[in-house]
Structure 1
Amino acid sequence: MKKYSYVLVFLFSVCLNAQEKKLETSLEYQQKLNKEFADSTSSPLMEADLKTFKALDFYPIDEKYIVEAKFVKAKREKVFEMKTTTTRLPKYKKYGELHFTLDGKTFKLNVYQNIDLSKKPGYKDYLFLPFTDLTCGKESYIGGRYLDARIPKSDVMIIDFNKAYNPYCAYNYKYSCPLVPLDNDLDIEIKAGVKKFHD
C-alpha cells in the first residue's frame, strides 16, 4: 500500500511538472511577443502607439485552452487565393483538419499552408491556423486571431490558444492580413491569448 502511494505521488509530480512546463511555454511566448512589440525594429505598432506601449493585453494563461487535437491530413486539396484586408491574394492550400473537444463540445479547425512561404528556408513545415470565436468584436479583435503551427509527425497536434495573436492589421492599417475563412469560426468563447488592442 505504501509503495502504491509512492507511485501515485510520483505520477502526480510528473503530471504537475508537465502542466507547469506547458504554462511556462505559453508565458515565454507571450513575453517574447511583448518584447517584439516594444522593439521599434520589429514592432507593427504605429509610431504614436509605440511611444506609450508597455505590454499587450492577454487573457490569463489557462491550461484548459491547451488542447490535444486529432490531425487529419487533407488529400488532393487545390491551391486557392486567400482573401486579405487588401487586394493582395496569397496562395494557400488546406493542409489538414484539427478535431478537438472543449467544454464537452467537439470542434474542427482547418489548418493551411502558405505556398510561397513553404518554399523559404525554415518554413517548409510551417502551418497557418486562423480562427474566429464568440469573443471577436467584444474582448478580442473583430477580425479573429492567428496561431502558428508545424506539420505534426503523428496524428496528434497540440493547440495552445494561449499563444493566439492578432493580425498586424489590428495595430496598423498599413498591413495586409489574411481574412479568417468562414470554416474556422468557432461557436465558443476562446478566452485565451491576446485581447483586442484598443477599446
Structure 2
Amino acid sequence: MRVLLTLVLLVQLNFGFGQNKFTDAVEKFQKELNAEYADARTSPLMADDLATFKTLDFYPINEKFKVTARFVRTKKEKPFEMKTSTDRKPLYVKYGEAYFTIDGSDFKLNIYRNIELSKKAEYKDYLFLPFSDLTSGNESYIGGKYIDMKVPEGNTIIIDFNTSYNPYCAYNHKYSCPKVPLENDLNIEIKAGVKKFHD
C-alpha cells in the first residue's frame, strides 16, 4: 500500500512539475512580449496607444492548445510570393506540414520559411506559422495570428498556440504583414495566445 501511495505521489509531483514548466514558459513569452510593446524603441504601437499601454490581452493559458504534431517535410517546393497587407511580396517556401488533433478533431497546418531571412545565420532554423481560426474577427485579430518556430530534428513538432501573437498590422497600419494563406484557416476556436488589441 505504501509503495502504491508513493507511486501516486510521484506521478502527481511529476505532472505538477510539467504543468509549472509549461506555464512558466508561456508566462515568460507573455512578459517578454509586453516588454517589447512597452518599449518605444521596439514597440509597434502608435504613439497614443503606447502612452497608455499596460499589457496585451491574453487568453488564459491552456495546455490543450499545446500540441505535438506529426511533421512531414515537403520537398521540391517552389518559392512563392506571399501576399501581404501592402504591395510587398516577400519570398517564402512551404517547408512542411503539421498534422495534429484537438478535442478529437484532426487538423493540418502548413509551415513556411522566409527565403531572405533564412540566409542570415541567426534565422537559419526559423520557421513561420501563420493561422486563422473561428475566433478571428471576434475575440482575436481578424487577420489571424503568427507563431515563431524552429526546424524540428525529427518527425514531430510542438505547436504552442499559447505563444501565438498578432501581426504588427493589428496595431499600426504602417506595417506590411504576411496574410494567412487560406489553407491555414482552422475550423475550430483557438482560444489561446494574444487577443485582439481594440476595435
TM-score clears 0.5: yes
Moved over 2 A (4+): none
Matched, 1:57 2:57: yes
Counterpart of 1:42 in structure 2 is: 42
Report the secondary structure of 1:88's partner residue.
coil
Report the secondary structure of 1:122's partner residue.
helix
Instruction: Report deviation, 1:125.
Output: 0.6
Q: Which amino acid aligns with 1:87?
A: D
Q: What is the CA deviation profile of residues 30-64 of structure 1, one whole-angstrom value per residue up to 9, with x for unaligned ones?
A: 11100000000000001111001111011111111
RMSD: 0.9
Matches within 5 A, 1:1-199: 1-199=1-199
Distance 2:180 2:192 in 1: 18
Query: TM-score normalized by structure 1?
Result: 0.98
Q: How many percent of aligned residue pairs carry the same amino acid?
A: 60
Query: TM-score normalized by structure 2?
Result: 0.98
Distance 2:96 2:4 in 1: 43
Report the secondary structure of 1:29's partner residue.
helix
Unpaired segments ≥5 residues, structure 1: none
Across the two proteins, how many residue pairs are aligned to each other?
A: 199
The worse-fitting range, judged by mean Cα deviation, of 8-17 and 181-190 is 8-17
Distance 2:9 2:71 in 1: 33
Instruction: Report deviation, 1:18.
Output: 1.1
Report the secondary structure of 1:45's partner residue.
coil
Report the secondary structure of 2:121's partner residue.
coil
Instruction: Report deviation, 1:20.
Output: 1.3
Instruction: Report deviation, 1:175.
Output: 0.3
Unpaired segments ≥5 residues, structure 2: none
